C-alpha cells in the first residue's frame, strides 16, 4: 500500500520534505532534531506552553515546584519547547497574547527584538544577520 501511494505522489521517486511541522513540546523536539539532521526548515505550533502552565500551577499554591516537576515533568517539557523555539523558522500561534505573554517567557524568544525585526522585514530593511523565529497569528482552523 505504501509503495502504491508513493508512486501516486511522485512516480516512485524519493520525496524530500519542504518543511517539518512540530506540535506541542514532544513533537516540537523531534521536529527540531529532524530539521537539523535533514537540513529542512521547521515550523512550530505550541498549543499550550510549559512555562505558562508552570506559572499557573505555582499561583494556585497547591503544589511545590518539585511536585509540579515530578507530576508534569515540566522542566523537561520546557527544555523541549526551548529547543523547538531555537530551531523554528516560524512559530504559529492562535493570538497575539500567546506571543506576548506566553512565548515571551522563553529564553529563546525576545519580544522586543522580534517586534523590531518584524518591522524591519515589512519595510524591506536588512536584519543584519539577527535571527528570531517569525511569530504568526493564525486564527483560522482547518481541523
Name the CATH topology of 2-137. Answer: Rossmann fold (3.40.50)
Q: Which three cell numbers stand for residue 68?
A: 509540579
- pLDDT tens digits along 98-107: 998 899 899 8
Residue boundaries of the structural domains of the chain? 2-137
29 phi/psi in degrees, rounded to 5: -65, -45
**6 pLDDT above the threshold of 80:** no
Distances (CA, A) of 120 to 4, 115, 116, 126: 47, 9, 6, 7
The overall average pLDDT reported for the chain is: 85
Long-range CB contacts for residues 125-129, cutoff 8 Å, separation at least 24: none
Amino acid at each position: 500500500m505504501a509503495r502504491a501511494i508513493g508512486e501516486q505522489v511522485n512516480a516512485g521517486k524519493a520525496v524530500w520534505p519542504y518543511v517539518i511541522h512540530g506540535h506541542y513540546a514532544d513533537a516540537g523536539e523531534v521536529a527540531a532534531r529532524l530539521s537539523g539532521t535533514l537540513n529542512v526548515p521547521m515550523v512550530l505550533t505550541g498549543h499550550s506552553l510549559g512555562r505558562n502552565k508552570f506559572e499557573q500551577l505555582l499561583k494556585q499554591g497547591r503544589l511545590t515546584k518539585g511536585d509540579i516537576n515530578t507530576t508534569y515533568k515540566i522542566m523537561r517539557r520546557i527544555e523541549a519547547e526551548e529547543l523547538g523555539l531555537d530551531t523554528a523558522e516560524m512559530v504559529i500561534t492562535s493570538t497575539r497574547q500567546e506571543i506576548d505573554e506566553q512565548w515571551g517567557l522563553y529564553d529563546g524568544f525576545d519580544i522586543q527584538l522580534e517586534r523590531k525585526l518584524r518591522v524591519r522585514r515589512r519595510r524591506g530593511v536588512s536584519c543584519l544577520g539577527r535571527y528570531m523565529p517569525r511569530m504568526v497569528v493564525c486564527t483560522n482552523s482547518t481541523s
